[in-house]
Every structure is written in C-alpha cells, then in structure tokens.
Structure 1
C-alpha cells in the first residue's frame, strides 16, 4: 500500500482540479486516490523543448492540457492554473536554474517577458547566421517533404540535428518564413 498524500504547507490543492495535488517541493503532480484506485504521482516527461506538460481533468469534466510549472505556481498562489493572475500582469514563469523540466516551486519565479527573454538569450549559445542558399534549400526540401505527406515535425527535427541548431523550432521558423523573411527564393509559395 502506498503512502497517502495530503494537502499541507508543501502540498497544495489545485483550484478547479480537485482530483490532484501539487507537490511544491518536488514539482510533481499527485493524482488523489479513488474508491477503486490508489493515489499516485503522475509520470510526466519533458517534451522536445524541455517543458513538462500533462492533461488534467478539471472539476467540470474537461481535460485541460497545461504545463506543470504553471500548475505548481498557480497552486502555490491558490489560483486556478487555467487563468492565473500573472497573465493579466504580463508576467511569465522563469525557471531560475534554466532547467525547463525542474518545476519545483523554489525554482520558479515571475518575471517580465523582456527579462525572461534576455535570460534565454544569454544562456543560449549563439549560432552562426545561415547563408541565403542554405535557407532556400531548407525551404525547398521542406516543401517537397510536406507534399510527400510526411510529418512536418520530423523534418524540423532532422534539419535542426543536421545543421547543429539548438532547437528544432529554429528550423520550423525558417520553414514557415518567420525567420529569414528577407531571403526569397524560387519557392516563395511556402506551405504552412
């Protein structure tokens, strides 16, 4: 039999999500026991970018996808994680140690978007700007890839790995003409 987890100083109820508890010390989410099942900590893993997400059943019976860091911080402030107060104040959650999967309350803080992005810019190694021919080649390959019916995410990841990019979203932004907007090729009818 597993140990029963109860709300207290470091374990908080999650407003609007009464089936769960947030462990502020570990940054984990606990699913409360039911009549037929013991309680347990959810086994949630980081996504490709490093953030931990899960889908949580709210008190209205709807499954809501949310980041665990949002759930932990909202629970600490006794706020509903689907509409936390800091969004109205244009604040973002910062992971103090820059480890996006570390959702412990003492690793989270609220900062302005500008400050959060300055921190990201300082911690991310600078990469070299791609030559126009490389960008045009990526976009052409992307168009061919998508037209063949293959999943877009696989192209982004493969391109990022091949070119030594820090994250696959960089490749995605090139393909979608968000980055390198000034680079025009014969292939400007880009697929989204």
Structure 2
C-alpha cells in the first residue's frame, strides 16, 4: 500500500512505556491492523511465531530493537495505554474472532489471563464437539445409503457416496472416506 492511499485518520500513535518511546511509528487501524513507519513511509514486515501470533520489530527512540506482538501494539494504540499496562495488570489481548492474524482494533479486547484461557478452551471444546457431531451424521448417512441399496464395498458406489457427503458437509473427501471406512471418527477429524 502506498503512503498516498493512507488516510491520516487510520494512523494512531503508539503510547510510550517507561523505557521506550516509538515516535517513528503509527498503528494503522485499517484492514487487519499493521504498523506504519513514518521514517520509511511504508508498513513494517511482520512475521508469525510458532504459536501463530504475529510479531513486529520496532526500534525505539533510543535505538533499541523491541520485538513485540502486533496485536498488543494495536490494542495499546487503540486504548491509548502503554504496553506495560498489560503486564502490570496481568491482562491478555484477546482476538474476538479467534484468528490471530486479524489484528483489526475492533477484533481486539482485553481479558484477564484466566478469562482468556477459559475463552480458548471453550472454543476448542465447541470445535471438537462440532467435529464429533458432523462425524456422527456422516456415519448415520452411511447407514441410510446402505439401506437404499448402495454397496459401499463397490469402489464406484463408495466414491459416489463419499463425494456426495463431502460436498454436503464441506469436508475433505479423504476425511469423509476415512469415517465411512472405519465407521468411527476418533483420530480422523
């Protein structure tokens, strides 16, 4: 994105901490949330770590390089609170939609560590429960197709049934075929 396309209203200062001031950068609230360099007149590169959170390197006004989570910087600019506020108050920045790449300020909220962990566990349980329900429906459909005369030991019938179910449930063909073959869903989904 070229600087001329940026609206000044999209760029917000990053609050200073006790040790660091970032006067050369602005948080860009447009899109998925990025950091804009006033010095180089472009967005900074960012990279995910092994847990999927996006990080960015900022150089403070003293020349010290600071590696910081992008969602925390965006939240800090949105709330006009220093990054140290989170650590001092044992708080986490939570992605409302669950996608760690979506750092739009509207997608970020602050939770206690306990609330954040509970939220993540609840989402994981719901996802697992939905997978089990889908697998049970697929197994039930297998029985219905067999009752209608499909022979799932015939490769052509098997392919047609598995393909129909994979399209119906928007699941990969391989996943559906494994469930149909095994008549179970553990270690499949």
TM range (shorter): 0.5 to 0.7
Task: Give the corresponding residue for 1:31.
Answer: 37
- Contact 1:55-1:65 at 8 Å conserved across structures: yes
Task: Give the corresponding residue for 1:60.
Answer: 62
- Segments of structure 2 that go 5 or more residues without pairing to the other structure are 16-20, 129-186
Q: CA RMSD in A?
A: 2.3
Task: Give the corresponding residue for 1:74.
Answer: 76
Alpha-carbon distance in structure 1 between the residues aligned to 2:112 and 2:82? 20
- Contact 1:7-1:13 at 8 Å conserved across structures: no
Q: Aligned pair 1:48/2:50, yes or no? A: yes
Alpha-carbon distance in structure 1 between the residues aligned to 2:7 and 2:114? 38
Render the CA deviation track for 1:81-112: whole Å, top value 9, x for unaligned.
Answer: 3x1x2333322111000111111100000112
Alpha-carbon distance in structure 1 between the residues aligned to 2:120 and 2:113? 11
- Looking at CA atoms only, which structure, 1 or 2, has the larger radius of gyration? 2
Moved more, 24-33 or 95-104: 24-33
Judging by fraction of residues, say which structure has more helix: 2
Task: Give the corresponding residue for 2:96.
Answer: 96
Counterpart of 2:22 (choices 17, 20, 30) is 17
- Contact 1:20-1:29 at 8 Å conserved across structures: yes
Task: Give the corresponding residue for 2:117.
Answer: 117
Alpha-carbon distance in structure 2 between the residues aligned to 1:110 and 1:77? 10
* Counterpart secondary structure, 1:124: helix
Scaled by the length of structure 2, the TM-score of the pair is: 0.56
